[in-house]
A = this chain, B = another copy of it.
């Protein structure tokens, strides 16, 4: 497979490079960046010395259509909405790692992202790439909307319980914690080491753009009515997301039913590890494509608390994108992704 990457200098882009370099079927033919055009990847990321030293080219959709079998777009939001119409032509497959094709309508996107994306006809072509839940559609699509980092952990946590009708969709609260790579590589006071280190804080309470992505997908895939609170937090670490999700159990739901729902949902899914009663640490999936899920039933309150951890740059971005690429090209899901977490 010949591969192009647009936005290769962001954290998701450079992680795509890392993963694809050891993928047995992948061949990176070109990397593109508008902000760093003319530099080599090694100049922007010295850790790639002797490994990947290609020049960063200006984005050229015609060249990509010609050279590549698949293109990954790992730009900030608001870019791929404009690029995709120029790319979707002929054999080229597109995986958009940004948020531009995830929400059901341009209006919803405008409301939560505060900017414009593609028209409805392009959004309608996109398949949502939650690999474990949407594999059949993923295999057929030419335009894939790769899930957001927070939605990945949240959806994998909640879908089994909603699908089996075990929890109340209106009772859900998701308290999420992320490492700083989630904020991107752009320099700002909010990502300054001294302002983040030895501190934790919430942000965008009630306003984060991943909220509608989570709600919409839960409803689409399970038919349940869902309205939830989602609160992201910034944690002084580079990588990792932990979501702590709370939901009220429906009457008569037992621990066994919960365990059964998870077992049924994730049987044969190589990247989901079920750890009932445990306390997964984000470090335990560091650098890998795993999502570890634990659950705890609190009989006092009638709630289930679900803990899920991912590496936000891997399963929450580049890793799941490669997993989806594998599905789109008929390869085993794990091809090029069999990384043991780097611990500690």
Contact = CB atoms under 8 A, between A and B. Distances in A.
A281 B238 contact: no
Interface in A61-102: none
Interface centre among A49, A181, A194 (most CB of B within 10 A): A194
Given A47-B284, A193-B180, A206-B296, A198 B239 contact: yes
B193 A47 contact: no
A200 interface: yes
A-side interface size class? 35 or more
A194 to B, nearest CB: 4
B244 A275 contact: no
A51 interface: yes
A125 B259 CA distance: 46
B185 A187 contact: no
Contacts of A175: 173, 175, 231, 244, 246
Interface string A34-51: 000000000001111111
Given A49-B275, A192-B191, A307-B202, A244 B238 contact: no
A220 interface: no
Contact of A51 (B22, B180, B340, B342): B340
Contacts of A227: 300-301
Interface stretch (A114-122, A159-167, A250-258, A285-293): A285-293
Given A200-B281, A240-B199, A307-B205, A49 B173 contact: no
A317 B180 CA distance: 29
A275 to B, nearest CB: 7
A142 interface: no
Contact of A18 (B195, B242, B340): B340
A185 B192 CA distance: 8
Contact of A194 (B11, B48, B50, B51): B11
18 contacts: A49-B275, A52-B340, A173-B175, A175-B175, A175-B244, A195-B344, A197-B236, A197-B238, A198-B238, A199-B240, A199-B281, A200-B235, A201-B307, A201-B309, A202-B242, A205-B279, A205-B305, A246-B246
Interface of A: 11, 14, 17-18, 21-22, 45-52, 173, 175, 177, 179-181, 185, 187-189, 191-203, 205-206, 227-229, 231, 233, 235-240, 242, 244, 246, 270, 273, 275, 278-287, 292, 296-298, 300-301, 303, 305, 307, 309, 338-344
